[in-house]
Chains A and B, each alone.
Chain A
Amino acid sequence: MADAKTTSFNLSCPVPRVADDRIVLAHGGGGRLTHQLIEKICIPAFGNPMLEQRHDGAVVPVNGSRLAFTTDSFVVRPLIFPGGNIGDLAINGTVNDLAMCGARPLYLSAGFILEEGLEMETLRTVVMSMQQAAAKANVKLVTGDTKVVDKGKGDGVFINTSGIGVIEANVATEIAPAAVQPGDAVIVSGDLGRHGIAILSVREGLEFESPILTDCANVWPSVQALLNAGIEVHCLRDLTRGGLATTLNEIAFDRNVCVKLEESLIPVDEVVQGACEILGLDPLYVANEGRFAAFVPVDQADAALEEMKKVEVSQGAARVGKVEEGPGRTVVLQSRIGGNRVVDMLSGEQLPRIC
C-alpha cells in the first residue's frame, strides 16, 4: 500500500487536485491544511531544534536565563467586534503565546499594514485598545513599524506583534508539548467558542438575546498562579484558531498518545452552543482568544483547578479529559449518550451545512 502522504501529492494522480497548487483560505484555518503548509514548506526550509518543538513560541537560552520569543499576525474581519477589536487581539494573542511557554511577557513589537482610505478614527480606536491591553498585561510596546498599501490590497488594518518574555528561575521543568505524558489531566481554562461566535455573529448579522462577547484576554495571571503554586505544568496551549480539537490533535500526534475527552465536562456557554446548533458548527473547533489547555499530572489536577479558579480569566476552568497511551495520535470523545467518536483535525474550514 502506498504511503498516504506521497499519494495525496503525487502529480500523476488522476484525482482532481484540490488546494495544493494555490493557497486557499483553509491554509489559514488552523486545521490539516495549515499543518501541511508548515510541515511541507516552512519546517524543511527553516528547520532547527527550537522550531521543531512546534510550540506557540521558542524558548532561547541567553546568558544563563531563558527567554521566550514569539510572533503572530492578526487579520480579523470585522476590525471591531463585540467585546473587542483587532488591537486587543494583537496584544493578548502574543502575550498569551509567551504565557504558553511559561514566560512572563515583557516587551512587544507592533507592525501595522494599513490600507489606503482607512478611517483615522478606526486606527485610533485600535491603537487605544492596544495601549490599554498592554498596560493591563504589564508589557511595553518598545518598537514598531507602519506601512501603507493601495486601496484594495489590504483589509483596513493588518497587525503583526512579536514578543519577548522571561521564564522565571523557579520554573524548573520545560513547559512544552514534548513534556505531555500518559497520566496527565487535561484542563481547559474556561468555556469555549465565544470569540469565534462573536466574530461570526457580526459577519452573518446574527443577533442573540444576550450578545456573545469575545473571550479575548491576557491569560498570564492564570499561568502565573499555576507556576507560583508549584504545580508541575507539563504543557500549556492556547486554543486559538482550530479550537480545542485542533490543539489536542497536535499534542496527540506529536507525542503519539491518546487524549480522551468527556463531552459532558467540556464547558460551552448555552448561547454559544445555540449559535453552533443553528450554524451547524462544532464548538470544539471554534476559535478562542482567552482560553488555554493545561496538561498537569493527574494527582495535581485538583490543586491546579483550584488555583486557576481563583483568577478571573480562568474562573470557569474545568477538567475535561486525560492523556492515555493508546490508541496513539488520536483524540477520542465520549459523547453525552455514552458513545465514542474520534475528534479529528479539521479538514479545511468549518463550513455551514445546508440543512
Chain B
Amino acid sequence: MKFVSEYRDPKAAERLAAAIRQKVTRPWTIMEVCGGQTHTIVKSGLEDLLPKEITLVHGPGCPVCVTPMELIDKAVAIAKRPDAIFCSFGDMLRVPGSTKSLFDVKAESADVRIVYSPLDALKLAKQNPDKQVVFFAVGFETTAPANAMAAWQADHDGIENFSLLVSHVLVPPAMEALLSSSNCVVQGFLAAGHVCTIMGLEEYFPIAEKYEVPIVVTGFEPLDLLEGIYMTLCQLEEGRHNVENQYVRAVRREGNRPAQKSIAEVFEIAPRQWRGLGEIPASGFQLKGRFQKYDANRRFPFSGEPAKESPECISGLILQGIKKPHECAAFAVKCTPENPLGAPMVSSEGACAAYYHYGRRQNHLVQPELSSPTSR
C-alpha cells in the first residue's frame, strides 16, 4: 500500500538495523514519547532488531494514560445525567475511574457514544436540541485543532447544548518535567511526529540545549522508528544534542500555522494534572474567553470525592521510563486489560497494554493469564 508498505520494507529495516549495530559502542536509553510509537515498536517486534545496548523506554505520550482519574470520574458523572449524550474517542471508554468506566455506565443505560471527530458530536448536538451533548476533548497538540474547530463552529452556529470536557496536554512541558527529575534515565528522545506536524520544531530547541539531550522528531512506521533511533544514536555517539527531523514527509519546522492559529483563538495554556506524573505547570490547554461557555467543567459542577489511585499501580514510574511494565508486580496478574489497575493497561497505546497484548515479556514470549502465571 502506498505510503505504508514502503515504510515496513524488511530489507530496508535490516539495513537500518545493521547501521545501528555498527554505530553503537555502549549502552544508551532512548525514550519514544508517543504512545503510537510504542504501539508500532511492540506490534512490529522492532526491539528484536536492535542490539542489546539500546534500551527503549516508553514515554507519557498516550493521552488515555495521562488523563487524571478525577476527570474520568467527572466524565462518568456527566454521562449518567439523563439529559446527556456523552461522546468520546473509543479508547477512553474503558479507562477506569475510581469506581466506574464510561463503558460501565453505558451498560447501565447512559447514552455514551463513540465518535471519530468532535464535529460529529457537534452534529449530534444539532440533531438533539433537548439534550446536552458533551465531547471528551482528550489528547495532545495533535487533536487540539479539531477540538478548537468544534468550539469555534458551535460559537459560530450559536449551538448552546454542546460542550467540551477538556483534558488537553502538551508534550514539551512533560519532556522537561521528565528531564528535570533526579530519576531521569532518558538520554535521547524520539519526539512525537504528529504533535510536531501541528506545532513545528521551535519548542524543542531550548530543551535540547538546556538538558543537552538529542531530540529527533520521528514518525510512526517501523522504518521511521528505526531511522529515528539511528539518528538519535549518531548524536549520542558523537556527543551532539541537536533537534533533528526524521519525519520530513509530514513535519515542517514551522508546523501547521492555520492549525496553531485556531488553537490560539480558542485555548489558553494552563497547568494540568497528569495521571502518574502529577501537576505540571503550563502543560495543558483550557478554553478561553468567549469559548469558556463551552467548558463542561463550568457547565456541570462536580463535587466528587478526590480520586485515589490504586497503590499497586506503578504507572507513574512506567510513564517516566524508570520501570518497564513487566517489572510491576500486578502486571498480567491483578492488572489486565479486562481489569486494569491503571490507565497504561487500557489504551492500546498504553505501554502496559502493548506489553500485555504483544507479549513483550522479559524472558520469553508467554501469553499471560491463559498460561500459568506462576512463572512470574
Contact = CB atoms under 8 A, between A and B. Distances in A.
Interface string A338-355: 111111110110011111
Interface string A315-355: 00000000000011111101111111111110110011111
A62 interface: no
Q: Which of B90, B99, B226 has the most CB of A within 10 A?
A: B90
A274 B222 CA distance: 17
A277 interface: yes
Interface of A: 1-5, 7-8, 13-20, 22-26, 32-33, 204, 249, 253, 264, 270, 273-274, 277, 279-280, 327-332, 334-345, 347-348, 351-355
A355 B1 contact: no
B260 interface: no
B367 A344 contact: yes
B8 to A, nearest CB: 5
A100 to B, nearest CB: 23
Contact of B13 (A5, A273, A337): A337
A17 B334 CA distance: 11
B337 A348 contact: yes
Contacts of B36: 353, 355
20 contacts: A1-B373, A1-B376, A8-B336, A18-B96, A19-B339, A22-B107, A33-B338, A204-B116, A273-B4, A330-B365, A336-B13, A337-B10, A339-B46, A342-B365, A344-B367, A351-B90, A352-B91, A353-B36, A354-B64, A355-B63
Contacts of B58: none
B1 A353 contact: no
A270 B310 CA distance: 43
Contacts of B367: 249, 253, 327, 329-331, 342, 344
A7 B357 contact: no
A327 B223 CA distance: 29
B140 interface: yes
Contacts of A277: 1, 4
Interface in B118-177: 138-140, 142-143
Interface string B60-98: 000110000000000000000000000001111110111
B340 interface: yes
B194 interface: yes
A119 to B, nearest CB: 22
Nearest to A8: B339
A257 to B, nearest CB: 12
